[in-house]
Structure 1
Amino acid sequence: MENMLENQLMQAAQVVEQQLDAEINRLDNMDEDELEKIRERRVQAMKKAQVQNQEWASNGHGIYSELSSEKDFFDICKQSKNVVCHFYKNTTFRCKILDSHISTLAQKHMETKFIKLDVEKAPFLTQRLGIRVIPTMGLIRDGKTKGYIVGFTDLGNCDDFSTEMLEWRLGCSEIINYKGDLATPPDNRKTGTSSTNAVGSKSKTIRGHDDDDSDSDFEE
């Protein structure tokens, strides 16, 4: 059995090595025109990304901002494709824990608009969304709710979760561009434990439905 496993690993390594050799050989044999085309595509991609970042910045992306009214919330959800809204209360200390993590992620993920709204200033919206647990984060894409993160249950059910844990959770809902491993939560990787949380497939929303079942329009 051990010999068979060794042979399989050796064969797999040989296949990878052959693929690398073929790619190196292809690059070595490229003429100047082909290399110039590759460089030009990369330059165009960088320019496009720069223009996109400037557009996001002009819409207030890159910072974690507080809204003064419900109307501001509706306006932002129309302007930005991806929005994460932290519904909070000043008297809830876990909201302050969440604030520190969100501030970091807002700077890292320009593609998403991160905002916060005091539920006491938004009675209509709070009732409409059925928000009963504080803190709650609403995840909005293209003006529609795509899910909620309610409390800290999906973040390890503890107060000392890492920023990477929240980033992973948002990545599971595809509200940010997450480049890590979605199969295992970051905090579980550190401890070597496995995850039994339902978030790995689809997280539960505040109403007990899966993320994809929540599809409320944010239209006034």
Structure 2
Amino acid sequence: MDIGHVLSEQMMAAAKVVEEQLDAEMSKLDHMDEDELELLRVRRLETMKKHQQQKQDWLAQGHGEYAEIPEEKAFFNVTKNSSKVVVHFYRDETFRCKIFDKHLAILAHKHLETKFCKINAEKCPFLTSRLRIKVIPTLACIKDAKTQDYIVGFTDLGNTDEFSTDMLEWRLAQTEMISYSGDLMTPPDGGKSGKSKTTILGKPKVKTIRGSGRKDASSDEDDW
């Protein structure tokens, strides 16, 4: 059977399921009495209030803006206070760090649920050692104070400096670092994930962040 025909049938089946679910919800609403409708309204209002409070809490923690972490000690406070944190390890001399800066500033405003920040890798030798940062730029994806994933350079973003903000957003969604409603199976930039080349720093074992100890770090170009 033709693959296109199979996909078409699957899409039609999925659409039918959604339609049936909507019909069921509409029927349920039609048969509700005034007390049930009032209870539903109250519950929805409570949900809206919780979402608004959560938004205020995020803003209080500095979410919504792309900020610099001045020192290692502050890094541990950030990862302690926010459940989802994306940290850009950068160097001033590395041009591609500026590209990440541009996209991360946009995503910080769009995704309040996640804390986006950056830290100078040359000023945090303990962190670069602890988190095994070997290539600049690298994004560390941290959830509940544990590293979940790394985005190393632009390898996963199409191997190009011209990747879109949507592409980075899609890649972060792969590790559930942001709320995402798009298609996780299809990268937005031409359908290419850019994973054909070997990543210098692979996905690590999950590590709990601890703020003790310090090691020296040396650099050679963008490799650490």
**TM-score per shorter chain, which class?**
0.7 to 0.9
Tell me, yes or no, if structure 1 residue 216 matches structure 2 residue 216.
no
TM-score, length basis structure 1: 0.82
Task: Output aligned runs, 1:178-193, within 5 Å.
Answer: 178-188=180-190, 193=191
Tell me, yes or no, if structure 1 residue 158 matches structure 2 residue 149.
no
Tell me, yes or no, if structure 1 residue 47 matches structure 2 residue 38.
no
Report deviation, 1:130: 2.1
Could you say which structure has the higher helix fraction?
1
The size of the alignment, in residue pairs, is 204
Tell me, yes or no, if structure 1 residue 58 matches structure 2 residue 60.
yes
Contact 1:131 1:206 in 2 (8 A): no
Task: Output aligned runs, 1:1-220, within 5 Å.
Answer: 12=13, 20-188=22-190, 193=191, 195=193, 197=195, 207-208=201-202, 210=203, 213-220=204-211
Distance 2:112 2:54 in 1: 9
Contact 2:156 2:194 in 1 (8 A): no
Flag as ranges the 4+ runs of structure 1 deviating above 3 A: 11-23, 193-198, 204-207
State the AA in 2 paired with 1:112.
Answer: T
Superposed CA RMSD in Å reads 2.7
Report deviation, 1:197: 3.5
Among all aligned residue pairs of Structure 1 and Structure 2, give the percentage whose two residues are the same amino acid.
Answer: 56
Report deviation, 1:27: 2.0
Distance 1:34 1:76 in 2: 43
State the AA in 2 paired with 1:197.
Answer: K
174-183 or 133-142: which moved more? Answer: 174-183
**Unaligned 5+ residue runs, structure 2?**
212-224
Contact 1:89 1:120 in 2 (8 A): yes
Distance 1:131 1:70 in 2: 14
Distance 1:195 1:69 in 2: 33
**Unaligned 5+ residue runs, structure 1?**
199-203
